[in-house]
Amino acid sequence: MNVLVVDDDVRVAGVNAAYVAKVPGFHVAGQAHTGAEALRLVEESASGDTAIDLVLLDHYLPDRTGLDVVRLLRERGHQTDVIMVTAARDVATVQAAMRHGALQYLVKPFTFGGLRAKLEAYANLRRTLDSGGEAEQAEVDRIFGALSATPEPALPKGHSPSTAELVRRAMMAADGPLSAQELADRTGLSRQTAQRYLKLLERSGRVRLSLRYGDTGRPEHRYAWAKSGGAAD
């Protein structure tokens, strides 16, 4: 998905663009530092071969506000998705962003994990919407809650970010609940390590624990990815 990064601060725009480029499936289509430049780039992309899918939009721009940019995009017929990325914290601005059609609102300062959570949730939302068809109430609830993910705290001492990412991706790709041994088989980790990271994800709300009782009567712990709840790393 093609992303336009808009921020009046050139350095901040560069940092945000670098963050976006690190998230699989996202491509930085350009950077803009004024509202007029952002509008021009969206319009040019719409008439070209590579349309902009998402705008990461600052509110405080030198020529107009981010809310003005969103309003003008809609008035000109552009349905490009928008996530506000700004230091504006007043409720009136947040409410206006929602009314103008911004999908999400990320308050500065934020971490890479915070932005990645929003982008991954946005990707899940796009996949759901692009699949078409009809939606039951549970699916509608999931669509409307798809962008509610927030970043989880830093990993505890002794936990590896790369291992956490490996486990996270394996759980997201699973068709159903997994046991610690099944996760270990899929990732090449030991069962003890898989269990440790599953417990971490369970505490942060990213996976849900269920019990399955076999012939022995001893319950087997099984974990499923909580798609619409909890926090992302």
Residue for token digits 């709300």? 205
145 vs 182: which has the higher pLDDT: 182
When pLDDT is cut at 50, 70 and 90, the band that residue 229 belongs to is: very low
Mean pLDDT, range 114-143, rounded to an integer: 72
pLDDT of 76 > 80? The answer is yes
Residue for token digits 């996760």? 183
When pLDDT is cut at 50, 70 and 90, the band that residue 150 belongs to is: very low
228 vs 203: which has the higher pLDDT: 203
pTM listed for this prediction: 0.60
pLDDT of 151 > 80? The answer is no
Find the angle CA(48)-CA(55)-CA(36) to the nearest 5 degrees.
Answer: 75
